[in-house]
Structure 1
């Protein structure tokens, strides 16, 4: 069986038989990989804690016919241990890995930009660099942009008319001018638009200085935008602990 090795972030796991697990991972070079971790549910297993969601590890795989097999794991960043200590961090991280799993549809196709973004976001959460909800919101916007769904928060997403504009239409792709504004479009505050732009660009000086009202507005718009363009519900978003 061909052997390969890669850095990987664990997205999710589920049981297989009495002692094994199927582990879904996002790797640096091989995209999304599903592999069997044999015996990890036994109390004597040395691999179990190393293949929990959010962990970053250097993993050796044997390539199988249907599923690959994990043969060796070396922890690189124990994000899971740090994140699991705090409910807000845990729920934000759970929504991140679920989104990454949905965005990277095909297995073994290169997805390095998504891997790098998730790596950075989980690291930021584990170090508590910013409010957990804002790290999640920034991740959602930037991961969607990588996938080709970048929203506009200034120029009109429909006709391109220079902004700023006051309406936000999820289905149109973001901000809309008065002529293009569809019925039912949201009308976020100016502060929310500024925050949305800063979260997309990674301007944390502006984002960290924002007020809670703008954060709540932005979070609702981002969740709606993400789930519309993913064309499926991100179940863990409903569990995210917001300040």
Structure 2
């Protein structure tokens, strides 16, 4: 039997047979992995509580024919326990998990930056470093940037002309100058454009100084950008409490 170890964040689970579950995880070194956890739905199982969504765990896997098998699990960070009492943080975290599942391909060797970003975002949520909605917007922009879809909020996304610009188009890659503007482009305020750049860069001093109107407008733009590149809206967004 071939064994290997990796650390992971549990993204999703679903039932298999009478007592097993299939666990979908974002791992440090193997991208997105789907593995079977045998017997975890039994009350006597010692693995069940460690293999719930949000849990950050160190795992041992046995290589299987179709799906690998989780043979050991040790808790690193019990994010699920810390988020359960905060509805806003919990719903924002759920969107983070769904985003990670969509942007990281299975068995990707380039998963480390995405893994580190997700762990850092979940830790920031549990420690309440910033409002949950702002952490979510920042996480999604940065996850897409790592995946190769970094939006432009300074230079024109088409011709590279220096900003500031006031036309946003998700299909074009971000902010456009007046010459490159395409029909259907949004026209966010200059303050919102600056806020979007701060969210992408992780400039929390600038984010904290922003006003509620700009934050709402920025969230709408982030949602549109994510939906365009993932080719559909995220189901969990409907439950987010901002």
**TM bucket normalised to smaller:** over 0.9
Q: What residue number does 2:41 align with?
A: 41
Q: Which runs of 5+ in 2 are unaligned?
A: none
Q: What residue number does 2:163 align with?
A: 163
Q: Separation in 1 of the partners of 2:21 and 2:109?
A: 23
Aligned partners of 1:32 and 1:109 also within 8 Å? no
Aligned partners of 2:31 and 2:105 also within 8 Å? no
Q: What residue number does 1:104 align with?
A: 104
Q: What residue number does 1:69 align with?
A: 69
Aligned partners of 2:79 and 2:123 also within 8 Å? yes
Q: Separation in 1 of the partners of 2:218 and 2:190?
A: 11
Report the more deviating stretch, 228-237 or 165-174: 228-237
RMSD: 1.0
Q: SS of the counterpart of 1:105?
A: coil
Q: Separation in 2 of the partners of 1:39 and 1:72?
A: 12
- Equivalent positions of 1:1-243 (< 5 A) are 1-242=1-242
- 1:64-117 CA-to-partner distances (Å, cap 9, x unmatched) read 011111111100001110112111111111111111111112335341110010
Q: Separation in 1 of the partners of 2:112 and 2:228?
A: 24
TM-score with structure 1 setting the length: 0.97
TM-score with structure 2 setting the length: 0.98
Q: Separation in 2 of the partners of 1:110 and 1:6?
A: 14
- 1:125-183 CA-to-partner distances (Å, cap 9, x unmatched) read 01111000110100000000001110011111111111000111111111111111111
Aligned partners of 1:62 and 1:68 also within 8 Å? yes
Q: SS of the counterpart of 2:233?
A: coil
Aligned partners of 1:50 and 1:75 also within 8 Å? yes
Q: Separation in 1 of the partners of 2:30 and 2:2?
A: 14
Q: Separation in 1 of the partners of 2:50 and 2:177?
A: 50
Q: Separation in 2 of the partners of 1:231 and 1:103?
A: 11
